[in-house]
Each structure stands twice: as structure tokens, then as C-alpha cells.
Structure 1
Amino acid sequence: MKTLKITLFVLLIAATKLVCAQELQSKTAVNKSTIEKNKDVVIKFNKAYWESGNVKIVKELFPDYYVDHFEPHDGNGPPIDTILLVEFMTSFKKAFSNVNIEFHEVLGEGDKVSLLKTITATHTGEFLGKAATGKKVVINIVETDILKDGKITDTWALSNLPQVIQAL
């Protein structure tokens, strides 16, 4: 009888471990799937927004409560929201041609996607009071996006954009 109890106990432990392992594997698969989907959303946005100047992508992939915590923003003006994203890209596309984006790193963890990217373009029109120079520009950006339900809710970014604009 004692041997039977020990055997049943061992089987119970083994079954519990198996169930826990399957649950962990299932959660990991779902988490990886969500992370990959989030990475796809961020890449889709960046390509459409930067390379194509497609401002409609903002409405598709951002909720109304989106906030961009871009590093030059000092907190004294209005927060950078979807309206300002559209305004920025509208003026950027008028001022720059041959826009290309290169992703050096795209990393996902939980609800965050981090990017190391470079945007290259040619300054062919007026931008923020600077007349066209014909100069090629290189904008380096380190960015982390937070996503919820397949939409980008927050962006934290650092870039050399202020220095690029100053050098035009």
C-alpha cells in the first residue's frame, strides 16, 4: 500500500510538472506571437510614415491617447500626440526627398518594441524655416514604443534630429 501511495504521489508530481510545462510553453508561444506582432506593427508604421509619408497610418496604428515622449520636448508646449505626428510628417515630406529607413536593431520584450534606426533623406524644400540646401541628412534614432492591443500608445525616443536641423 505504501508503495502504491508513493507511486501515485510521484505520478501526481510528474503530471503537475507536465501541465505546468505545457502552460509555460503555451504562454511563451503566445507571448512570442504577441511580441512578433508588435514588432510588425512598429516596422509597418515606420516604413509607411517615414518612407512613404503616409499619415493615414497614424490613425490606423495609434489610439487617440498616444503620447510621444520625444527628447527635445521640454514639457512646456503641448504633448506630441497624433495630430502633431501628422503635422510633422506633412512638413517633413514637403522638405525631404529620397527618404529611406534602415533598421539596425528591432527588439521586443513584453509590450515594448525598441528600435535602433537610421533615416536618410535629401533636403529639397523649406523645413522649420530653413530653405532647401540639397544636403543629404542622416537622422539616427533610438526608440522604444509601447503597444496595447496592436496599437502604439507611447514612444520614447532620442535622436540627432535637432543637430541635423541646425546643420541645414
Structure 2
Amino acid sequence: MINYYFDNTNELKPFTHQLDANNDTLPPDNALRIAPEFRDGYWPCEQNGAWILIEDNRNKTVYNIETKEAEKIDYLGKIRDGFTLLKPFEFCTWNGEKWILDEDAKNEHLIKNNQNLKNSLINEASEKIALLQDIIDLDMQETDEEQQLKQRKKYRILLTRVDASDINAVFPAKPE
């Protein structure tokens, strides 16, 4: 005979282990003499003197539908409300069943990146223009630095005209 033990301190009373039993004794309060059934994705738990199968998602990764944060499941039973096994992706939102692309968040991100790129390129152009202007003002120029200055100034003007709020903004090519 074998005693099949369960954790009676846990609400679901999950199977924990088995040990040989004496033929002339009764099983303890936390064991059954009936072998539990095992099936993928489920774990046997005691209920009213019988084994039932409870959904087992332990060690799976779930995602919070509000924060998108990942969590490992460490409990038996169905996945808790507010979580999903579906992995979120960039610029997504939960629609009640699955992750869908949040066009507004994506566009907002693109516009912010466009503005940052525009500012960065204008600053870079201004630094090069200032250096070239100093070279010319101090009459220290070498070949074609006056032409470079004109190209950089034209480039900076074209940059200021870029509409960074357009998600498909096109930036002018940098002068050589």
C-alpha cells in the first residue's frame, strides 16, 4: 500500500509526495490511498477524499495587462485576472483579449524622436558653422572652407524647416 500525501495547509491541497504505507493502518489526515492522476498542464489536488486536477501554470511567464511587467507564476490554478501569457510588444495596449498596436503611442514616440533628432542635427550644424566662421573671421581658412560654411548654413536652414511633428519627416542630407 502507498499513502499519497497532499499539503493540507494549502487551500487547494495539492499532491506533494508518496510513501509506502502499512497494510493494517489508515492513511493520515493528509493522505489518500488512491493514486492521483497526472496530466500535462494540471496538478492533482485533494478535494473531499478524491483527487481532482487543477490547472498548473507554475514557472510560466505572465504579463500584467496594465504595466506589461513580466512575472513567473508560483501558484496552482488559473492565471489571475489582470495577467496574460501573451507577451506584449512595443507600443501595444490590451484590448481585453490580446495586445494590439497603439498607433497614438507609436506616433507620439516617432514625433518625439524626430524632434530630438532635429535638435541634435541643428546643434551639430551650429557647432560646425561656428568653427568655420571663426576660421574665416581670423583669416585662417584653407581650401573650400568658405564653401563649406555656406553649405552648413544652408543645411541648418533646411533642418529648421523640417516638420518634426510629421511621423514621416524627411531630414536633409548632411553636407560633406
| Same-fold status (TM-score > 0.5) | no
Larger RCO: Structure 1 or Structure 2 (Cα < 8 Å, ≥ 6 residues apart)? 1
TM-score (norm 2): 0.29
Larger radius of gyration: 2
Identify, as 1 or 2, the structure richer in helix. Answer: 1
Scaled by the length of structure 1, what TM-score is found?
Answer: 0.30
- Say which structure is richer in strand: 1
